[in-house]
Amino acid sequence: MSETEPEKSRKAIPLLFWLVIVTLMGLAIGLWQPWKKGLTHTPNSPELLIQQLRDPARSKTAYLQLVSSGEAAGPGLLAAAKDEAFPARSEAIELLGRVRYQPAIEYLVSLQDPALGRVRLTALGNIGGPEALAELRKGLSGGGEEIRFVALRKLSDWPEPVERALRDEVLVFLKDTESGRREFAALFCGRQRDEQAVTPLVACLDDPQGDVRKAAAWALAQIGDEEGLKAVQAAYARGAIPEDR
């Protein structure tokens, strides 16, 4: 018996349905593949942001976005830092410190380019750790004036206690000829709560520079020595300590 037209139509509908489904699946897969390839190169991916450091018009925005990327940007930044031909190499090194990328320590310690000395030491100070502390200590005596300044600046924020020998090395800078180094040395003594620094810190309360006097007063308050606190009160009474604005 031959099939009627309605019966043929009923059989054709499921076939047409599956053809539509297969076609839509093919389109979905086709659209997915190029989008999937672009997943690792989204507009804010570290790889593209690092390349944008080359462009003066985009470098500032890229820099801030890389900071926000955190350690995820570390591998790419380390590769850029090692590339001597990369035009924003200094920024890449600086960013390694900003994102505190620990695997960069070994490379930064080994980096001996004098032109990158300041940014290298700053990055190490931001990352922290025993190797970084050893490099900061070397900077106190083995570098030029700028390197000593950077070393003291990073040591002034050092969150952990350091050995007595390093504290003694920093004490010398309370009498340094440069006011910035005197200021950071005072902050370091306060951060370390170094009681042996009380006498030279009291002397700093009469420093010609207000920022040094203020740092010395803060340090003495952190140490908490009775004689030091009396000296701070007297300095405030005579108006020697600048007030916060």
Q: Using one digit for the tens of pLDDT, what is the confidence trace for 50-91?
A: 999 999 999 999 999 999 999 999 999 999 999 999 999 999
The whole-chain average pLDDT of the chain stands at 88
> What is the domain partition of the chain in residue ranges?
42-127, 145-245
Q: Using CA atoms, how far apart are residues 122 and 165, in angstroms rounded to an integer?
A: 22
Q: What is the pLDDT of residue 242?
A: 86
pLDDT digits (tens, 9 = 90+) for 17-42: 555 565 566 554 554 444 444 444 46
DSSP label at 73? G
> What stretches of 70-204 show up as alpha helix (H) in DSSP?
74-82, 89-98, 105-110, 117-127, 130-142, 145-155, 164-171, 179-192, 198-204
Q: Using CA atoms, how far apart are residues 190 and 33, in angstroms rounded to an integer?
A: 59
Name the residue with tokens 């509908």.
13
Q: What is the pLDDT of residue 142?
A: 80
- Of 96-100, 101-105, 140-144, 224-228, the one with minimum mean pLDDT is 140-144
Looking at the predicted structure, is the pLDDT value of residue 108 above 50?
A: yes
Q: Is the dihedral of CA 200, 201, 207, 211 positive or negative?
A: positive
Q: What is the pLDDT of residue 38?
A: 43
Phi-psi region of 3 (alpha: psi -120 to 50; beta: other; left: phi over 0): beta
Q: What is the pLDDT of residue 19?
A: 58
CATH 1.25.10.10 fits 145-245, yes or no: yes
> What stretches of 38-73 show up as alpha helix (H) in DSSP?
46-52, 59-69
Q: Which residue has the higher pLDDT, 153 or 32?
A: 153
- Of 7-16, 108-117, 174-183, the one with minimum mean pLDDT is 7-16
